[in-house]
Amino acid sequence: MVNTLTKPQALLSLEDYYLSLLEEEKGILSSSIATQAKKRLKQYGLPTNRHEEWKYTSLDNLYKAKPLLNNEAKINYGNENLPLKHTADMIIVSVAKQTIIGNVPTGLSIDFTNNNQAIEQFNARFNEVLPEDPMLSLNQALCHRVITVNITKNTVIEAPIVIDYGNDGASSFQTQNAILKSVQVVVSLEQSAQATLLECHRNLTGEKELSIIACAFNLAQNAQCQHYSVSNQQMENQHFWYGYGSVGRDAHLQSNSLVAGEQLARRFFCNDLNGEGAEVTVNSAYQAKETQTLDIRTFTRHLKPNCQSMQLHQGLLDDRSTGVFNGMIYVDPVALKTDGQMDNNVMLLTPQAQNNSKPQLEIYADDVKCSHGFTCGSIDKNQLYYMRSRGIPEALARKQILKAFIARVTENFPSYINV
């Protein structure tokens, strides 16, 4: 760890603020989880750019934020502004109000209490993968909402399950600082169960917000889960998302995410393929402008034979924005016949935009098929000339080229999601 004396004063001030906040505020997770999280935060503090994992994602301007969701009187929740069509046919879970809109069918249970063994198990897995991550520690220490979703054996849930993280009204709470939204979600699918989960990250208050979300997926044998995440918020937001997936034999987890809007966004997704024949698909499209920083990270662990993982990450970087991608495919010695593929493609729209990508493979088995790829460039002038020569105005031509670039990801979204 870097000596704290080398840290800038602003970062030391932020550390002091959050360490004091840990003494003032209490989360709802078990004391064992929260206590260990506080110890880690005190031990490691906030990282500087000398830490390899945070080299391009600075926390120097992290918001000083206090929890909002414990103060129910300040929330005016509504679902009419969700980026969705046909919401009457969905099961909408309000994080703010801890309520469910829609009919919950047999075989599906949604709980807002934290007395669940799965919470303990998945936090232990998170800590194994990210033992020094400060934002994960903040989430565990100050978590004030827990949602557990369980689908029983052989149950197929037709209606999409929507996790709405939004606050939909003006709030006067802590306007001099920022709102802190710290939530954990655990989704469990028993054998041969099927479901679609959609996360909507939004903040319509116009106030600054720091959101730290941890979401875990547990797929038993032959389970199928479609996961979508839409984050298109204002520049007043800073957003951290941590995902962990445990995928059993012949199960399939597919995740598609759209990230745009936040001043700072960092998403980390670890998937363990724990059963033979397991499949994981992780796709993301991220769009940054002005001085935004968008950071996408994945860690895929092939732990059994005959498993497949596919990844595609498409980035558009404009103005003076920064994009970061760090992906790792790990293949265990026993994971023969592994098929892993990871691609990151980035388009820089100005000379000032920056991109930092680090795709990696760590393979300990012989009979495998793994690859990673990375491309970075600007708009193809030949494509632009071709469209303009056919009477298409330059602005519209550029827009269509960029739309087609991220369509490789957004085309996977169902029609009821506005992307």
Residue 108 contacts residue 150 (beta carbons within 8 Å)? yes
Residue with token string 């204002």: 234
Please check whether residue 272 lies inside any domain of the structure. Answer: yes
Based on the structure, what is the number of domains in the chain? 1
Q: How far apart are CA 192 and CA 152, in angstroms?
A: 9
Count of Cβ atoms closer than 10 Å to residue 24 Cβ: 9
- DSSP calls for 246-285: EE-TT-EEEEEEEEES-SEEEEEEEEEE-STT-EEEEEEE
Residue 409 contacts residue 284 (beta carbons within 8 Å)? yes
Please check whether residue 310 lies inside any domain of the structure. Answer: yes
Average confidence (pLDDT) over 100-118: 90
Domain that holds residue 351: 4-410
pLDDT over 70 (residue 224): yes
The strand pairing partners of 120, in sequence order, are none
Q: How far apart are CA 273 and CA 330, in angstroms?
A: 10
Please check whether residue 212 lies inside any domain of the structure. Answer: yes
- DSSP calls for 353-366: -EEEEEEEEEE--S
The predicted structure's pLDDT at residue 79: 65
The predicted structure's pLDDT at residue 10: 83
pLDDT over 50 (residue 190): yes
Residue 212 contacts residue 179 (beta carbons within 8 Å)? no
The predicted structure's pLDDT at residue 406: 94
pTM: 0.94
Q: 1: pLDDT confidence band, cut at 50, 70 and 90?
A: very low
pLDDT digits over 147-161, tens only? 999 999 999 999 999
Please check whether residue 47 lies inside any domain of the structure. Answer: yes
Please check whether residue 361 lies inside any domain of the structure. Answer: yes
1 Cβ contact list (under 8 Å, min separation 6): 44, 45, 132
